[in-house]
Structure 1
Amino acid sequence: MTIGMFLDRDGVINEVLSHRVKFVNKPEDFYLLDGVGEAIKLFNEEGFKVFVVTNQGGIGLGFMEEMALQNVHKKMQDDLAVYGAEIDHIAYCPHKPHAKCACRKPKPQMITDLAKKYDIDLEKSYMIGDREPDIEAGKEAGTQTILVGDRKERQADADMYFPDLLAAAQWICNLRKTRSVFY
């Protein structure tokens, strides 16, 4: 079985609610956060599968079309490619907030479906997010959880906290190397 890195998108990979952008509804609204390309490249080099699992309620609410979301995701992949970083799969929930669908975080369906498809060992995998629903979804799926960022969501019961994705990636990769010395 393989280890997976399940990453929320907005606030983990790209800016949201920043001075430049409120919501990411078109490619020109998409800005990688500092260190994200390097972080995902580290995960790729360690042989982890990297997944994006993102709620995109703007589709259900009519703020954007699915084609626009595909264009945003193409820009994300193009921006990451500059660093030699790759995402293995992008899963998204297009439903409205409060739709009570099975795929919207904090429900774990996006994570569990990807785990089945890619033969992922959830107990050794991580869900990395910037909000409580990300952490709840990861816990429900059986992953380890990491809260990143400075949105003051410390009430989220994450297993670990880091300032950003790069710090989390460096810690995970260093831990893996340290453990391999002893096994």
Structure 2
Amino acid sequence: MKLIILDRDGVINHDSDLYIKSPEEWKPLPGSLDAIARLTQWGWRVVVCTNQSGVGRGLFVMDTLNAIHDKMVRAVSQAGGRIDAIFFCPHTSTDKCSCRKPKPGMFLEIAQRYNVDLAGVPAIGDSLRDLQAAQAVGAQPILVLTGKGQKTHADPNLPPGTPVFPDLAAAVASLTK
């Protein structure tokens, strides 16, 4: 099984420092939907793994998060792709949970759900915490320069040898050539 793990905000859709709080605010990044469609067509299982502390902060409720994810899944489907699962952490950093990236809890849950070793599995993110969570389970962190990616690229804590791409479409193109 070919598995790939994608962060959501800043990788698939535009990010906002004020959080994506409604389906109307969810806007795909150029090329991201087609990139996921390409992954699907090449036989990849696409899993989204996202911190969503807006729930824990009371900025939106679970029904709203589900509606945002429904919009994303429909948009990907209309482009000819599929998202196999969405894993999310609704907690804030003060909750001290094990699932909020950079902790690897969601990645471990993905490994358990799919009964796979995540060693070498591509994990695409735009923030340092995405890459650190991937690295903690032996997955292959990949940085995209969309979202917070430019800032992350300049971070001295960037895991050594992390491949860097301008966006999800470029990263996917390198995996499906």
TM-score normalized by the length of structure 2: 0.91
Matching of residues 151-170 of structure 1 within 5 Å: 151-154=150-153, 155=155, 156-157=158-159, 159-170=162-173
CA RMSD of aligned residues (A): 1.4
Which residue matches 2:58? 62
Aligned length: 170
Tell me by how many angstroms 1:120 deviates. 2.9
Cα distance in 1 for residues equivalent to 2:23 and 2:159: 32
Tell me by how many angstroms 1:141 deviates. 1.3
Which residue matches 2:111? 115
* 1:173 and 2:142 aligned: no
Tell me by how many angstroms 1:99 deviates. 1.9
Cα distance in 2 for residues equivalent to 1:152 and 1:171: 22
TM-score normalized by the length of structure 1: 0.88
**Worse-matched range after superposition: 49-58 or 155-164:** 155-164
* 1:100 and 2:100 aligned: no
List gaps (5 residues or longer) in structure 1.
Answer: 175-183
**Structure (1 or 2) with the larger CA radius of gyration:** 1
What is the SS of the residue equivalent to 1:151? helix
Q: Which residue among 77, 82, 89 is the counterpart of 1:81?
A: 77
Cα distance in 2 for residues equivalent to 1:48 and 1:111: 17
Which residue matches 1:16? 15
Tell me by how many angstroms 1:63 deviates. 0.5
Identity, % of aligned positions: 38
After TM superposition, the runs of 4+ consecutive aligned structure 1 residues lying more than 3 A away are none
Q: Which letter does structure 1 place at the counterpart of 2:100?
A: R
Cα distance in 1 for residues equivalent to 2:36 and 2:115: 20
Which residue matches 2:4? 5
Cα distance in 1 for residues equivalent to 2:121 and 2:80: 22
Q: Which letter does structure 2 place at the counterpart of 1:153?
A: T
Tell me by how many angstroms 1:24 deviates. 0.8
List gaps (5 residues or longer) in structure 2.
Answer: none
What is the SS of the residue equivalent to 2:46? strand
Q: Which letter does structure 1 place at the counterpart of 2:159?
A: D
Cα distance in 2 for residues equivalent to 1:84 and 1:36: 12
